Each structure stands twice: as structure tokens, then as C-alpha cells.
Amino acid sequence: MAMNFKPSGLNHITIRVNRIDASKEFYGDVLGFELVKTMGQSMAVYDVGNGDTLVIVEAETSYDPTSRDFRVDHFGFYMDSAKQVDEVAEYFRKHEITIISGPANRKKGRFLFVADPDGNMLEFFYEEK
């Protein structure tokens, strides 16, 4: 049985990178994506068009030069309200879907992280505009 409501769009894809400075140069300077914001020294958000964003985050293992930790971290879906985030959490609980984190508040909204059957992380979130 499918959810009776759907995300209103794909907001972002987050990828892990090994060298944040090299990746910022690639996505910003080479590809020309507009830097929207940075969060600390290990995360940057780029506008890739139509309000969609690419988030790059430095891998936890970046301190180890022999480590190669790169992957898609998660997909983030817009929800229409904070209440809808809670409703989708309840839906996932009923269907025994693994909830990784949330639902919980953040500065301007509410979020929930779940895992698909292969362990891929999906975020469902509402953010005030």
C-alpha cells in the first residue's frame, strides 16, 4: 500500500568526498555551480538549477590519505509541512521501515531519515521558506 501523500520534489543529493577543497574547486570553479552556503569547513551546498541542490560533505576518513570514502550519502525529499514529516514517519513505522533519525526539528523545519532495503539513506524534510 503506497503512501497517500508524496514528496513535493527532490531537493538535494548529498555525496561524500575525500578532499573538500578539491571538490569545491571542481563543483564551483570547473562546473560553475553557484555556492549557496557552507556549513563549517566540511560541507558545501551548490545550486544546480531549479532550486535543486548538490551537497558535498567531507568523509569522516579524510584524515587518512589511504582511505577512499566516496559515495552518495542520501537523497533529500521536500515535504509540504512539518506535520507531513511526522505522518510519513508513522507510515514508515507501520511498514517496519528502518528509521535512522527523527522525526526531529532543525533550525527552520523538521526532518526524518530512513533506510531503503539496501541501506541507502533517504531524508524527508520540511523547511520554512
26, HSE (Cβ side, Cα atoms, 13 Å) = 9
Can you give the pLDDT at residue 61? 61
What is 7-74's CATH number? 3.10.180.10
- In this structure, are residues 12 and 54 in contact, taking their beta carbons and an 8 Å threshold? yes
Return left, alpha or beta for 40; rule: phi > 0 is left, psi -120 to 50 is alpha, else beta: left
Can you give the pLDDT at residue 68? 62
Residue 123's nearest CA partner among 57, 54, 55, 77 is: 77
pTM: 0.70
- Give the pLDDT of the chain (129 residues) as one tens digit per residue: 667 767 777 888 998 888 889 889 988 987 788 999 998 899 999 998 778 888 999 887 655 666 666 677 788 888 999 999 999 999 999 989 999 999 999 989 999 999 887 677 889 999 997
- In this structure, are residues 76 and 11 in contact, taking their beta carbons and an 8 Å threshold? yes
Q: Which contacts (CB < 8 Å, 24+ apart) does range 86-95 have?
A: 86/110, 87/5, 88/3, 88/5, 88/112, 88/124, 91/3
What is 79-129's CATH number? 3.10.180.10
Can you give the pLDDT at residue 87? 94
Instruction: Enumerate the domain spans of the chain.
Output: 7-74, 79-129
